[in-house]
Amino acid sequence: MKTLLKGIGLSVAGFALGTTGLVASAQAEGEVNIYSYRQPELIKPLLDAFTEKTGVKTNVVFAKKGLGERMKAEGKNSPADILLSVDIGRLQGAKDLGVTQAVENDSINGNIPANLRDAEGHWFGLTTRARVIYASKDRVAQDSITYEELADPKWKGRICTRSGQHVYSIGLFASMVAHKGDAEAQKWLEAVRDNLARKPTGNDRAQVKSIFAGECDISLGNTYYMGKMQTNEKDPEQKDWANSVRILFPNSADRGTHVNISGMVLAKHAPNKDNAVKLMEFLASGDAQAIYAAQNFEYPVKPGVEPSELVASWGTFKADPISLNEIAAKRAKASELVDVVGFDNGPSS
């Protein structure tokens, strides 16, 4: 199994088995098999709590990409019961690949707001992260902002961001298409492109590093990266990056800040379906939501469950209530517009 996974670029946690053993494991009682885009150490506290509560053993295969495609290739022989993923694009992508099945469950639906789950029950949000503005404490005085304002010429040469084709960027741009329409979203993207300090590159943390270095004054980024930087013991310099910025939650005074999700799907051919649904119910519960969100510096989706103390310290905000079903439907257009305006080529002058 290790050789097979290595051949398609996967790393393994939990499935240290031969191919024959894997099939046997998938059919055993008292287990649930998880394909995860989230690193095993991040979900281990959750899975340990689930096993303690139910006695059901969990097995995890982790990869940064390709799990949906693997499930499709495996077909009816797939051992996967659940796929855990980040970003609405990957969740909807799994549905589009035909590797999911619908779940109609009152407990899950009661805990997860309708705008954060698939209208047909194929994917469910578990935590949210806001796409915010990281702003220099030294060079940006204002304490509020809108996404629309990023097109203002006053920001010319002052904005850093990662690739416009990254899934996190596409999610935000899709929300602009949904709210503004194709033409206005294109004009906005062109103006933001021309306000960039440089060609888009790096990840969200790299943008904050650039603010710290004085290369730009604001950047787009997900909220949880603040937590990752603030608590990074392996690279203490990241704490300095984090201390150089503050978070601005865009559009808090009107429609709200764009949010994306981490989430779950039930595999189409789940061999341990009953246990998989038990795990999904558990992950949607208040106790699990608190553990999951704190572990990943994200926000619980279940109403009434508070974020961790660290996450709460970044301030409160209004989340855009638009359905992520609509965001998912606009992702292709957003991606097209990124290429049309040459966003990833950087500013035109």
Alpha helices for the chain (secondary structure H): 2-7, 19-27, 40-54, 67-74, 88-97, 106-111, 167-180, 182-195, 204-212, 224-230, 237-243, 273-283, 286-296, 309-312, 324-340
Question: Of 284, 277, 278, nearest to 263 (Cα)?
Answer: 284
250/190 Cα distance (integer angstroms): 19
Tell which phi-psi region holds residue 106, choosing left (phi > 0), alpha (psi between -120 and 50) or beta: alpha
**Could you identify the residue written with the tokens 């506290």?**
45
Residue 225 marked in a binding site: yes
The one-letter amino acid at 90? R
Say how many CA atoms lie within 13 Å of 9 toward its Cβ. Answer: 8
Query: Are 174 and 327 spatial neighbours (Cβ–Cβ below 8 Å)?
Result: yes
Backbone angles phi, psi at 31, to 5 degrees: -135, 160
Question: Of 225, 217, 181, 169, nearest to 339 (Cα)?
Answer: 169
Structure tokens at 226: 């603040």
Please report, for residues 65, 112, 273, the alpha-carbon distance to residue 86 in angstroms, rounded to integers and kept in the order given. Answer: 11, 16, 22
**Could you identify the residue written with the tokens 């099945």?**
101
Structure tokens at 296: 């990943």
DSSP 117: B
57 strand-pairing partners: 31
Residue 224 marked in a binding site: yes
**Could you identify the residue written with the tokens 């340990």?**
48
Neighbours of 316 (CB within 10 A): 8
15/2 Cα distance (integer angstroms): 8
79/59 Cα distance (integer angstroms): 10
Binding annotation for Fe cation: 224-225
